[in-house]
Every structure is written in structure tokens, then in C-alpha cells.
Amino acid sequence: MNNLPQIFFKNSELYENKTLFGFKKHSNWESLSWKKTKELVLDISAALYEIGIKKKDKVSIIADNSYKWCVVDLATISLGAITVPGYTTSNEEEISYLLSHSEAKIVFVNEKLLPLILQILPSLDKIEHVICIDDTSTSKFKKINIGFYTLNQLLNLGSKSHVKSNIIELFVSNIDENDVVSIIYTSGTSNKPKGVMLTHKSIISNILGANELVSEIKIKEHKFLSIIPLSHAYEHTAGFFLPIFIGAEIYFNENRDQIVNDLLSIKPTLMTAVPRLYEVLYKKINNQLLNKSKFSQKLFEKTITLGTKKYKKIKLSFFEEVQNIILDKLVRKKFQRNFGGNLQAFISGGAALNEQVGLFFQSLGVNILQGYGQTECSPLISCNPINNIKLDTVGVVIKGLQVKISNENEILVKGSSLMKGYWKDKTNTDKVLVNGWLHTGDLGSIDDDGYLKISGRANEMIVNSGGENIAPVPIENLLLSYDEIEQVMIYGHNRPFLIAIIIPNETLLSDNQNNLKENLQNILNNVNKDLSQQKKIRKFIHSNNVFKTDNGQLTPTLKMKRHVIATYYKDEINNLYKKSFF
């Protein structure tokens, strides 16, 4: 099969009445079969054709995760058109840039984004239609010289189209594997986002590589719980097209606060998420443990101790083996039931996983498979296999890709999953794609077992005033292992020593305000004991202004925008370095 729609339509015939999508309606789970999904895809595809969408046209989707998002994506690419996903958390400037730069002809949005779209429409001369995924009044668009539909109106239009029955023959069969299928804008921790052109071939190649890993999990019918935005390349491939390829079911979480309830009701086998989720769960579980009896705390502590020994392949004594078997039943089984009971693995990507957090879950019988990727590689590059997890690595390189380490320790990648290039940006394309190798900008090494390790990001490395290179992430992870610290950023570029910007845990803020600075200093003292002289944190700023996407300090994928944070705390930072004798 040469293209993604072919995979979908073939599997819709194969699985027909099986569930493909699960979604909430009035707080109850409902499902959509492969057969019904196929009908919706054909209706929307025909409607898009009727309103003028042709091959290579750009169609943007800026909406919350739902089966509708997926159906619109499949319908768009079935015509040979190109999907341009956007984040609902983006601000007016970011959305305007995405729609303008991509030259999108149509934008699909949720009702809540309509006021913003109305505001920026006059500056977008390429947009011909706005389509609201939700049912809403069309009156607000009557005075604007543009086509406006709700999704239901579009479905109605498509159901009457004469091309509906011939979509596969007329369009899908004429899509080449090297055609661009989506332009995914990198969220960017600096500068303007770049539009990564992914092809049918690049995504299919990535799915085949990912499927090698999934096939090691001996389970026939997979269920995925989707929580990362589908506009993220990671979820787009691993949480959408991979499940379609293997005939799995996809359920959509609508509310982050309901994740635990959704895990219990859906009982997924796999879930992809960013490390931030696991960090939040880790701290929440540890806080809940404080309210348990001393006996329960001891059992939990012993389970982690023995689980850690098992993971590190340290031989248990006979008595410990017996204890571990008992703890399997008393603690681990109960812990696993909190995640539905069928979860084979959490898959972690998008940023570095704190090793202590990974070890915590691993020792309690919940696998976390840390992986690594970039949007420019569709996006998966490597992942830990379930049968041999090494938490301090991002796993082995997936099938179909080659990885090598440059003389500057940069990770270089080659293979069919690579992007076609950046949309309308040959200069940056030529910078990162050199002689067929993707220059990732990440620094790393490959261990004796072929596992890839990430040591930092080239443009995140702190070069102090002494010219020494320091990777901030490992130090940040040491600090984040303390429950008292919610978020942290290490700073010290061109400075004589490192400082930390610390966002304490909300509970600590409210309960221990008087001793807050002293508590944080004690944590820094503990961490500094194990750090070399140049990596020690000399001073810190503490704040209750959480790093968020709303204030522009996090990307939509929850990576820190270090330059934005540093600018925000510019005066405080300068004060820390004044009159210093270090």
C-alpha cells in the first residue's frame, strides 16, 4: 500500500463492525465502527471536493482531539490534499502565522475558536471556507464574503455528491507515496515555527518501524487512550495512524483531570504521553501515600526496593523472592488496576523522562517505554523494547532508520521516515538535511547494546563564562525528583555560575510559606553534594507563577521556552549575579 488512505479503507473492509473510535457523549462512552467511520470519511471527502478542494491544497484542523478530527484528516488526505494541524492553545499571532504561512484554503475549528478566526480572517486572503466541527449558528458569518459550514452541513452536502462512491478510484488510487500528506509545524522553543512536510512514505515507514516494537507486546486487540493533541507529530503517528494500521481502538480523553477515570473505564493496553504526565502522577501517588497507614507505606516502600533490584538485575535472596511474590499480589496488582488492569505499557516521548519516575513505575509493575523522535522524522527514531527496558536511554533505533553520532556528538538520522523538507524554507532545510542525514540538534551517544542516550540539546547547552558546556536537563531532573518542586529551569549562559528558577509545589506554597526558602535551599544543598563544581546551583529564584502555555513559557507540547522564561525573570536574574564573589 502506497498511501495512508489505502491502509484505512482496506482495514475498514477487514474490521467493518468493530469499534474504531470511542468518545464521550453526555458523560457516557459511545463508539464508532470502522464501517460508520468510512461513511463519514467518504461524505466529508466528497463535500470537500464539492467546495473546491483539490490535490495538494492545504486544509488546516485546529480543534480538540475527537473522532471528528480524525475523520476530517482522513477525508482531506483521501483527496490528495494536505492536512495542516494546529494547536487550540495557540494565540492569535501563532494561528494567524500558521494559516497564512501554510496557505490553507480551509480551516476546521471548534466553536470556541470562532471569535478568534473571525478576528484574523481579514488578514488571511487564502482562506475560502471556515468549517465549525461543532453545531453552531451560521449567522455571524453571513456578512463575511467566505463560505461557512458546520460539520453536519458538510456531511449532508457530501452525502448527495456524485463523486462519493468513486473517491477511492478517482483520488486515493492516484496518491503517490512521495506526496506530502501533512505539514506539521514544530512548536518551536525559539524563532518562528517551521512547517515540516511529511509524506505518505515517511509516515508509513515510521508506522512499520513502530509496529515492530508493538508486535513484541503479546496481545491481540489493542486499545489506545489518546490524550496528547493530534496536532503533535508524536500522537498523529503513534496515537492515530499506528492504531489504524494494526486495527486497534482509539478512545479520546476530554479532560486531563479525568485520565484516571478513563483508564479505569476503558482499560487501555497502550497510552502515549509526555513525561510531564508521569511526573504529575508520580507526585500525586506519593502525596496520597502520606495519608496511608505506616504499614501500607512500608509495603509500598518494600515493593519499590525489591522492584528496583529486579530491574537492575540484582539477585534477590530466597526470602526476598518470597516477599516479592507476595508484594506482586498485595501491591503491584492493585497498583496496576488503577490504570485499568490491561495496560501493557505507557509510551513516553516528547521530552526526557526523569529516570527516578520511570524506575518508580517500573518497580511497581507498570512499564514505561521511553522513546525519542523529531517531527522531521515522522517522528519516531528510537524506543525501548518492552522485553529489555533501559530507563536511562531512549531505546534502540527502529527498523528502517540508521543513526550515527557526529564528531560533535550530534545525533544524525537517515532513512525513509525523514521529512521532505520545511515548507517554503529551503535555507533551513539545507541546514538540517545534509547528504541524506538529518542533523537533529540533539547530543547523544550509543551504548554497547545499541541503545541511544540523549545528553542534551545543542542549542540548550549552557556555556558558562569559563567556556564549560553544561547540559541543564539532568540537573533539572534531579531537582524535579523532590515532591516539593513542581517546575524548574537552570540558567547560567555566559555567567560565572548556575542558578535555578523554581516553581514550588502548590501544597508547599500554602502550607509552609514561612519556611519555603529554607526548604528549597536544603534541597539544593542535597542535590549539589553529587554535582561537580561547575554544575552546582549557587542561588535560586522561587515563584508561584507556573510555566504555562497561556503565558508563552511552555510550547503546546509542554517544553520550556527557556529564552521566554529567562526574559520574564530578567531583573531577578541580574540581581542574583550582582556583587557575587563566586
| Domain CATH for 404 | 3.40.50.12780
Q: Round to whole Å and give the CA distance between 98 and 104.
A: 8
Complete edge-to-edge strand list for the sheet that includes strand 147-150: 147-150, 129-132, 106-109, 58-62, 82-85, 180-185, 195-199, 421-422
- pLDDT at 541 (0 to 100): 93
Do 441 and 326 fall within a single domain? yes
Which residue in 306, 242, 226 sits closest to 4, CA to CA? 242
User: Which pLDDT tens digits describe the chain residue by residue (582 residues)?
Assistant: 799 999 999 999 999 999 999 999 988 999 999 999 999 999 999 999 999 999 999 999 999 999 999 999 999 999 999 999 999 988 898 899 999 999 999 999 999 999 999 899 999 989 999 999 998 876 666 667 788 999 999 999 999 999 999 999 999 999 999 999 999 998 655 567 899 999 999 999 999 999 998 888 878 899 999 999 999 999 999 999 999 999 999 999 988 888 889 999 999 999 998 887 888 888 888 888 888 899 999 999 999 999 999 999 999 999 999 999 999 999 999 999 999 999 999 999 877 788 888 999 999 999 999 999 999 999 999 999 999 999 999 999 999 999 999 998 999 999 999 999 999 999 999 999 999 999 998 889 999 999 999 887 777 878 787 777 788 988 998 999 888 899 999 999 878 899 999 999 876 655 556 688 888 999 999 999 988 888 999 999 999 899 988 888 988 777 888 889 999 999 999 888 875 443
The amino acid at residue 185 is: Y
391 & 473 share domain: no
Range of the domain at 108: 4-175+218-269
Helix (H, G, I), strand (E, B) or coil at 399: coil
Tell me whether residue 67 is exposed, middle or buried, using C-beta atoms within 10 angstroms of its C-beta: 0 to 12, 13 to 18, 19 or more: buried
* Secondary structure string (H, E, C) spanning 169-214: HHCHHHCCCCCEEEEEECCCCCCCCCEEEEEHHHHHHHHHHHHHHH
Specify whether 55 is located in the same domain as 87: yes
Residue among 226, 133, 210, 132 nearest 401 (CA): 210
Neighbouring CB atoms inside 10 A of 259's CB total 18
73 domain-assigned: yes
Task: Confirm whether 181 is domain-assigned.
Answer: no
Q: What per-residue string of b and e applies to 136-174 under the rule 16 or more CB within 10 Å gives b?
A: eeeeebeeeeeebbbbeebbebbeebebbeebeeebbee
Same domain for 508 and 485, yes or no, is yes
Same domain, yes or no: 390 and 525: no
Instruction: Give a yes or no: residue 208 inside a domain.
Output: no
- For 86, residues 6+ apart whose C-beta sits below 8 A from its C-beta are 60, 61, 62, 94, 95, 98, 99, 185, 231
- Asked which of 398, 429, 458 is the last residue of a domain, the reply is 458
* Residues 411, 559 share a domain: no
Partners of 401 in the β-ladder:
415
Indicate if 251 and 371 belong to the same structural domain.
Answer: no
Three-state secondary structure along 69-83? Answer: HHHHHHHHHHCCCEE
Based on the fold, state whether residues 365 and 321 are members of the same structural domain: yes
Report if residue 187 sits inside a domain.
no
Q: Where are the alpha helices (DSSP H) in 290-348?
A: 294-311, 318-327, 333-337
In a domain, residue 236? The reply is: yes
Q: Are residues 57 and 107 in the same domain?
A: yes
**What's the pLDDT at 581?**
41
3-state secondary structure (DSSP) of residue 497: coil
Residues 439 and 493 in one domain: no
Q: In 3D, which of 366, 288, 286 has the Cα closest to residue 333?
A: 366
Q: How far is CA 127 from CA 145, 148, 239, in A?
A: 11, 11, 29
For residue 334, give the C-alpha cell: 492493585
Q: How far apart are CA 350 and CA 47, in angstroms?
A: 35
121 in any annotated domain = yes
Please choose, from the candidates 273, 256, 275, 266, the residue with its C-alpha nearest in 3D space to the C-alpha of residue 222: 266
Q: Going by DSSP bridges, is the β-strand pair 129-132/58-62 parallel, antiparallel, or unpaired?
A: unpaired
Instruction: Give tens-digit pLDDT for 369-418.
Output: 999 999 999 999 999 999 999 999 999 999 999 999 999 899 999 999 99
Q: Across the strands, what pairs with 368?
A: 346
- CATH number for the domain that contains residue 501: 3.30.300.30
The answer to the question of residue 152 being in a domain is yes
Query: Is 67 strand, coil or helix?
Result: helix
Tell whether 412 and 427 lie within a shared domain: yes
Answer left, alpha or beta for residue 558, where phi above 0 means left and psi between -120 and 50 means alpha.
left
Q: Assign 481 to helix, strand or coil.
A: coil
Query: Of 429, 458, 487, which one is at a domain's C-terminal end?
Result: 458
* Residue 203 placed within a domain: no
pLDDT at 512: 58
Note whether 258 and 288 are same-domain residues: no
List the one residue out of 346, 352, 356, 362 whose CA is nearest residue 313.
Answer: 362
Total domains, the chain? 3
Which grid coordinates belong to 308?
Answer: 528496583
Q: In 3D, which of 370, 367, 375 has the Cα closest to residue 349?
A: 370
